[in-house]
Structures are given as structure tokens and as C-alpha cells.
Amino acid sequence: MAGIKDVAAHAGVSVATVSRVLNDSPKVSQEARTKVHAAVEALRYRPNAVARSLRTEATHTLGLIIGDILNPFFAVLARAVEDEARAAGYTVVIGNADERPEQQDHYVRTLLEHRVDGLLICPTAEITPLVEDCVEAGGPLVFLDRTLPGLNVPSVRADGTRAIHELVEHIRDLGHRRIAFISGPELLSTGRERTQAFLDAMRANGLEAREEYVEAGDFQEASGRGIAARFLDLPEPPEVIFAGDNLMALGALDEIRARGLRIPDDVALASFDDVAWFVHVDPPITAIAQPAEELGRRAVRALLERIQHRPVESVVLPARLVIRRSCGETETR
């Protein structure tokens, strides 16, 4: 493949000049400019980003480590991150941690070795030595969707506390009392926060949060199904199942359907995370929607700031309740 030297030879100038026109430095004659462009064209020259990065210490690449690409929430997050990064002239390399700490580590190692200019991480449960190194080394890093306790790293995430309160209130207004919650992993900030918000909301609405009505899953479909099954097997099963993310809601839905139960008459269902197809199931599922695109965009903006060594604040965006029919019809309707 043609290199910059070939271009220089073909154009009859030095490599320095070629480099200058390619980076459109002002100090180059119009004549040289045209000759170089012609040569580039003729030789189908493509600058070698590897060599460039070596010299400039910048790859114009961002790393993004997400929990699970098959989870629609992360898919829209990834999409938004990519769009915003592209607009700023950056390429993003996505790593799929699959919610496994060792795979997350694999990707931070790989991305660090590839010398990405900055790293966006949706941290999995554990705080691994590697990410610790990473923050110590002070490489540009921002957490997305989730945070890790005790680490001084800016984060961009949604807060569902208010929406969860509204949801519990909505459910109570519908006349239900026994609400069960399929929570996320205790180690994940999102898991903890949602559980806490749920418990608070129950109390605030004068509802009893029974211990057997709260169980932690792992944000994957199978765990949602298993936990829903256990809830339903209880001597006094809940009237409502609230799933901590869309995948676990899918699992719960599976289990409810498999038992031939009707929603919301036999058991009602609600979910954290809103996804496109929720409106298409029968009945449409009441859910809490996170501003995923906005989170993605804000995260890369924050990261770019950090890359330029500007201080950045964490950002927290509110999630919002979208009421559909899976918990029952409201009276006014």
C-alpha cells in the first residue's frame, strides 16, 4: 500500500510538505497543494492512522464497555454514543462485557493497550484492580449508567427514584397492595438504587414491603423468569410484579404466560426500562423510561471534556413513568 513517501515522490515534494497539506497547515503553496492532492488521488493513498497515532499520541478513538449488547437499553446507549462520537471526529470501539467482570477486564486491558483517548464504562458488579489502576493512572474515564462506590470518577446516569415512587403510587391507586420487586444485583449501583427507591416508595405509600417479595436477579432474562416463578409459588403470591430491567421483565412475562395467568387480572406487571415492543404486548406494559440517547450523548460530551483536561461534573437525568395497561385500567378512562 502506498505510503506518504510514495506520494511525496510522485508529487515531487518532500514528505514534510505532503504531511502539511494533508493536515492542512497554512504554510504551503497552492501549487504544492494541488500537486499533492493529485498524487494522493493517483496512488489512492490512505494515511496510516497507526503511524499517525504513534507520533501524535492520540488515536481519536473512544472505548465503550457495556453490559450486554443484546439488551435494547444498551443498544440505544451504544448507538447514541457512536453518533455523538462520530460527530466529534472519534471512532468508538465497543466492548461487550456480558456482565462478567473478567470480560470487562479483558476489554479495559485491550482498549488501554490500543491507547484509546478515553474510556466509557458501564461497570459490572465488581470493582476490579484494573479499573482501579485506570482511575489512578488518571486516564480519561467516565462511568455510564452505573457507578462504582468510592471511586472518584464522573458518571452520567439516570435516576429512577421519582418515577418509582410514581409507579408505586399508581399501583396503589389501582387498588393493589402486594407488590413484588425483581431487583438487580446488589453490587450494581443501578440495582441498589432501584431496590432502595422501591422500598422507600412502599413505605411512603403506606404499603408493606415483605421480605419474600424482594429478590435480586442478574439483569438477565433467565433470572427474571426464575424469580417470577418463586413469587408466584408463594402461599400468598403478589398482585403485582415489578421487574428491575427489561430483560427480567421479559423473563417474568414468559413465566406468567407459561402458567396461563392473565395480565393484569391474575397478576400485574411493570418494568424498569422501556423498550419499543412493550407497547405491542397484550396488554401494553407500564414501564419506567430512561433517557438512554441523552445519557449516551452526555457521556461522550463529558468524556471529551475530560480528554481536554477540563473538569466535569457528574450528570443525573430523571427517568419517567409511562403508564400503560399492564397494571390495570385507571378509573378515569
Q: 428491575: which residue's cell? A: 244
Residues 290-309: x where in contact with a copy of itself by CB under 8 A, - otherwise, as a string: --------------------
Report the residue from 42, 49, 87, 316 that binds a copy of itself according to the rule CB under 8 A.
Answer: 49
State the binding partner of 82 from a copy of itself, DNA, none, CB within 5 to 8 A by kind: a copy of itself
Closer Cβ to a copy of itself, 95 or 161, answer by number: 95
Report the residue from 44, 55, 280, 310 that binds DNA according to the rule CB under 7 A.
Answer: 55
Please enumerate in sequence order all residues whose Cβ is within 8 A of that of 95, keeping only pairs 6 or more positions apart, or say none.
Answer: 63, 64, 65, 66, 103, 104, 106, 107, 108, 110, 111
Backbone angles phi, psi at 27, to 5 degrees: -85, 65
44 binds DNA (CB under 7 A): no
CA 333 to CA 329: how far, in whole Å?
Answer: 7
Reported as half-sphere exposure (CB side, CA atoms, 13 A), residue 17 has a value of 21
Report the chain's C-alpha Rg in angstroms: 25
Closer Cβ to DNA, 3 or 283, answer by number: 3
> Quick check: 145 and 77 in contact, CB under 8 A?
yes
Q: Which stretch binds a copy of itself (CB under 8 A): 25-33, 88-96, 154-162, 313-321?
A: 88-96
86 binds a copy of itself (CB under 8 A): yes
42 binds DNA (CB under 7 A): no
Report the residue from 23, 41, 79, 262 that binds a copy of itself according to the rule CB under 8 A.
Answer: 79
280 binds a copy of itself (CB under 8 A): yes
State the binding partner of 222 from DNA, a copy of itself, none, CB within 5 to 8 A by kind: none
State the binding partner of 20 from a copy of itself, DNA, none, CB within 5 to 8 A by kind: DNA
15 binds a copy of itself (CB under 8 A): no
Single-letter code of the amino acid located at 177:
R
Report the residue from 11, 39, 40, 59 that binds a copy of itself according to the rule CB under 8 A.
Answer: 59
From the list 171, 168, 169, 194, the residue with the least C-alpha distance to 183 is 194
Burial-class residue 225 by CB neighbours within 10 Å (0-12, 13-18, 19+). buried
DSSP string of 227-250, one letter each residue:
HHHHHHHSSS--SEEEESSHHHHH
> Quick check: 245 and 73 in contact, CB under 8 A?
yes
> Quick check: 121 and 77 in contact, CB under 8 A?
no
307 binds DNA (CB under 7 A): no
257 binds a copy of itself (CB under 8 A): yes
330 binds DNA (CB under 7 A): no
Report the residue from 250, 270, 300, 327 that binds a copy of itself according to the rule CB under 8 A.
Answer: 250
> Quick check: 325 and 264 in contact, CB under 8 A?
yes
With residue 42 as reference, give the H or E element that holds it: helix 30-43
259 binds a copy of itself (CB under 8 A): no
Q: List residues near DNA by CB under 7 A.
A: 3-5, 12-17, 19-20, 22-23, 26-29, 31-32, 45, 47-48, 51-52, 54-57
Q: List residues near a copy of itself by CB under 8 A.
A: 1, 44, 46-51, 53-54, 59, 61, 69-70, 72, 75-76, 78-79, 82-83, 86, 91, 93-94, 96, 106, 109-110, 112-115, 133, 137, 250, 253-254, 257, 276-277, 280-282
